[in-house]
Amino acid sequence: MKSTFRNISVLIFLPLLLACASSYSPKMVFNGYSDIRLGENIFQVSFQGDGFDSRERVANLSLLRCAEVTLENGFKYFAIVRMVDNSGGVAGVTPMTTQIDTTTIGNTTYGTATTYGGHSFFITYPNTTNTIMCFKEKPDFRGLVYNAKMVASSLKAKYGID
């Protein structure tokens, strides 16, 4: 019975947890993207995830923002010249409680004690910062050069972003 209950609870709560992943929007308090122009064709783009985001999702949303920044500034291509993983995390232990059930028969008391909690956990907050160089034409650049329009189109489709 317990295993069936666990399976049902996972099916109910997993979609709720996934719905809590960071939205693709400018950074507010805890998550989102930010960018800054560092030069004529150089930008720094960051995406901060929350405890419900995977590193892959954060890296992809950061890449999407790189493509958008490229297009918004009149460029067609970009290359990542520096990538920094600024991920952090929080560790903790759930509180412990003990439930005691007793029954007294005559002068004798019988009982059971059950302890809950005391479980360790670690929550990561993925964060990626990319420094990009943008180009109007595809450069003869040593390294990977992204087509901004193609990157934006495929990542928006993958994550259902308009």
Sorted by where each begins, the domain ranges of the chain are 2-87+126-159
148-157 average pLDDT score: 97
Which pLDDT tens digit goes with each residue over 94-127? 888 889 898 998 888 888 988 888 888 778 889 9
- Name 91's bridge partners: 122
Note the pTM of the prediction, 2 decimals. Answer: 0.71
Of the candidates 39, 38, 20, which has an alpha carbon nearest to the alpha carbon of residue 30? Answer: 20
Which pLDDT tens digit goes with each residue over 60-80? 999 999 999 999 999 999 999
41-67 average pLDDT score: 94
